[in-house]
Structure 1
């Protein structure tokens, strides 16, 4: 298959998965409505095909959406480019500004990554069969602190950047009201490092939503969420951990 057609098929697949279920969008609004109010500023780091952008806007938030992949950035411009409450940033996010190499999963672009460790961890792992990252490209990298300096302090930050979440949090020195970051069971150490960084920033309470359930479980301390993540069965695969200061 020609590369451009293959990439287009991957994007269409993601659009169908992430935009095609109204019940999922209602559940997302209920989840994020616990953290976001109308008029709030939200950072969507790893915006992918923009399903969270839709939810944040339905909640009345202004959105800074950060996505480095050109094919996905073009998709976001098509979907949201006329909305003045959305700022689209064609960049990755890390601990320092500069450039980095992104490995591209053409067939499943939402799991393209800056982390070679993420790719290594996926090899041979149950639930990750058939995933491949045959292409790469240089992308600009910014930091959360830089984004705050440019756009203001958000009420909520969502991080979904495939094994690079702890790196991004290392570039944050401002504690915001709440944030979330993705974790995977193939890279528990990244999730644990993200919990540790959140604790250093002053976050005291943590809760998790498994997979795409959009349902938070009980709030826990940092030690309790670390224990929970450590013993979570591999089959759980992935989810998001939410952090708040109180």
Structure 2
């Protein structure tokens, strides 16, 4: 029964399974990618396959303290570490963190990993980071207010929060019709969670994948502002693997600063 599901525990196991199934966000950065990053030629993504503009980062990444928030998988964290940053990766999935440690060991990178829920950063002191880098992952988180509040707390004054997230309108569509026939059939009210579906339908539609939650733009952007951030940049992009890409943006990304 859905009322007995612990979303943190469920999604931890689900993302561990995604690693075993070689989900594209669980495949570690290749040696040539790390070598290029060491040479100053690097990029990372917040949304889909869109590289983050370099001017979103501090002008000098060397020795910047970066928290890759819910960003395991051996991709962004190792690249930023190879580019010179002091990187910590926090993720809810032990197997995703294994990917980061795999690359760090292979490449001799001084990467720190922490297992945890993105809503609880109590393992970190106040004002310990210059950047919080949060690619699309809060879709797996039941609530956003503590994510933005904790991100604000752990950043130094002038620190940067970069966040990628899904357009909530994606969730109004019937998933089987969208994925199997590329038909956009409006079915769900917002806010939506895959937990709203009957158990048998959720299993048919999402299989063993993680629980997903839509979040309003009020929760995403308004939540950052309410936490104290100043928004500096906003971009959108089509979903890289979804039929909605022909009609609407599927992803949003924000850059915000702690005053």
**Coarse TM-score class (shorter-chain normalised):** 0.5 to 0.7
Gaps of 5+ in 1: 95-141, 214-232
Does the CA-based 8 Å contact 2:18-2:26 persist in structure 1?
no
2:112 matched to which residue of 1?
87
Does the CA-based 8 Å contact 2:168-2:216 persist in structure 1?
no
Q: Deviations along 1:130-186, whole A, 9 cap, x unmatched?
A: xxxxxxxxxxxx32xx24318x61101012323234441133452541101222112
CA 1:162–1:199: 2 relative to 1, 3 Å: closer
CA 1:61–1:178: 2 relative to 1, 3 Å: same
Mean Cα deviation higher: 157-166 or 58-67 = 157-166
Gaps of 5+ in 2: 1-13, 45-50, 170-213, 240-245
1:205 matched to which residue of 2?
231
1:193 paired to 2:219? yes
Does the CA-based 8 Å contact 2:26-2:96 persist in structure 1?
no
Q: Deviations along 1:87-115, whole A, 9 cap, x unmatched?
A: 10111221xxxxxxxxxxxxxxxxxxxxx
CA 1:35–1:189: 2 relative to 1, 3 Å: same
- Aligned to 1:43, the other structure's residue is in SS state strand
Does the CA-based 8 Å contact 1:166-1:190 persist in structure 2?
no
Measure the CA separation in 2 of the matches of 1:18 and 1:234.
Answer: 31
Post-superposition shift, 1:194? 3.0
Measure the CA separation in 1 of the matches of 2:17 and 2:118.
Answer: 26
TM, length-normalised to structure 2: 0.53
CA 1:71–1:242: 2 relative to 1, 3 Å: same
Q: CA RMSD in A?
A: 4.0
Measure the CA separation in 2 of the matches of 1:32 and 1:89.
Answer: 26
Aligned residue among 111, 120, 124 for 1:148: 124
Measure the CA separation in 1 of the matches of 2:31 and 2:21.
Answer: 15
- Aligned to 1:171, the other structure's residue is in SS state helix
Post-superposition shift, 1:42? 0.5
Does the CA-based 8 Å contact 1:166-1:191 persist in structure 2?
no
Does the CA-based 8 Å contact 2:62-2:83 persist in structure 1?
yes
Measure the CA separation in 1 of the matches of 2:167 and 2:31.
Answer: 26
Choose 1 or 2 for highest CA Rg: 2
Post-superposition shift, 1:196? 2.2
